[in-house]
Amino acid sequence: MATIHEPVLLREVLQYLDPQPGQNFIDCTFGGGGHSLEILERIKSDGKLVGIDLDPNVIQTSSNKNLILVNDNYRNLKNIYKDLSDDKRIGEISGILLDLGLSSDQLGARSRGFSFQDSGTLDMRYNASSDQMTAADILKKYNQKELFKIFKEYGEEPLAWPIAKKIVSERENGNNIETVESLVEIVEGIYNRHYHSKSKKQPATRVFQALRIEVNDEFGNIHKVLPQAIELLKPGGRLAVISFHSGEDRIIKNYFRDESKQDKPRIKIINKKPVIASDKEGQENPRSRSAKLRVIEKAFISDVGREKHKN
Ligand SMILES: C[S@@+](CC[C@H](N)C(=O)[O-])C[C@H]1O[C@@H](n2cnc3c(N)ncnc32)[C@H](O)[C@@H]1O
């Protein structure tokens, strides 16, 4: 599989998931397969790995008989598993991985509009044949307040309001923002006006991130998948989640905390503080610098009893 994507926190993921021969795993974000291929090495010929990805371009036919590739949204995790298990293609699950966001391959792919360095149409759907709204549709349809909200919440963009205002005023003048170049021009124009200098590097990054999160309902997907992943794990099985955005990490942290504080908690938190990349990895792979890994373990019935006893 031709990929330039470097798997993030690979050593740490393997250490926490600890795949053993004969076990089954699900990688909800297969991407370039960087994590999956290492897990496959460890589960050997008796184990199975289900690799899910929404982007049909990464789902290629595989000659590895232990790898089951599924082109779907991980928010449908329970149904994906049910279909495979009904067909007796997979048994109980020892570990699940989510490595959120997009891969370097997607960021580097021209014509999908993921990056401000790209050119062409603002699409940003992981699955370009789905009927979801594209980034260009959002820039055409959302009102100023709605645009402001996504730039602020998902992009943490300090100039969210003037950027949203400019987009709407351009629209009113008959100029829909449909291309990467036109969006970059608007954001750069606003930055130059506010900071009176061109020194601010790549000011459009945050607006692009915000649009990608909105187009793909990325926060909604995380909310949906976490309870399903916990339900699917066998007792003692582990869920590892890598996020790259403070908003994502907050959803994950809060969900795990709330679950672990239930009367009969279904999970045990393995690392109270998120695992971050080593200095060495940060130098070698800049993408890893914003990564946070959180891991939980599915409780055994006896753990549930013990937790209850403690309270
Ligand atoms: C960061 S990459 C994963 C990289 C992979 N772990 C590796 O090391 O090669 C995230 C992948 O998740 C996929 N993805 C994003 N949202 C998804 C969703 N809701 N359902 C399934 N796949 C999704 C993207 O298409 C992308 O390929």
3-state secondary structure of 196: coil
Measured CA to CA, the distance from residue 34 to residue 96 in angstroms comes to 15
Residue 197 has what pLDDT?
60
112 lines ligand 1 (CB under 6 A): no
- pLDDT average, residue stretch 202-228: 96
Atom nearest to 27 CA in ligand 1: 6
Task: Identify the CATH class of 133-215.
Answer: mainly alpha
Summarised one tens digit per residue, pLDDT across range 30-69 is 999 999 999 999 999 999 999 999 999 888 767 789 999 9
Contacts of range 52-56, beta carbons closer than 8 Å, 24 or more positions apart? 52/26, 52/27, 52/28, 52/77, 52/80, 53/29, 53/126, 54/126, 54/127, 54/216, 55/106, 55/126, 55/127, 56/127, 56/129
145 C-alpha to center of ligand 1: Å?
30
Arch. (CATH architecture) of 10-104+218-310: 3-Layer(aba) Sandwich (3.40)
Average pLDDT, the chain: 92
Domain ranges of the chain: 10-104+218-310, 133-215
For ligand 1, atom 20, the nearest C-alpha belongs to 73
Ligand 1 pocket mutation, candidates 1, 17, 29, 216, criterion most atoms within 8 A of CB: 29
Report percent pLDDT > 70 for the chain: 94
pTM of the model: 0.93
Residue 261 has pLDDT above 80, yes or no: yes
Which of 199, 186, 132 is closest to 159 using CA atoms?
Answer: 186
32 lines ligand 1 (CB under 6 A): yes
Residue 309 has pLDDT above 70, yes or no: no
Residue 200 has pLDDT above 80, yes or no: no
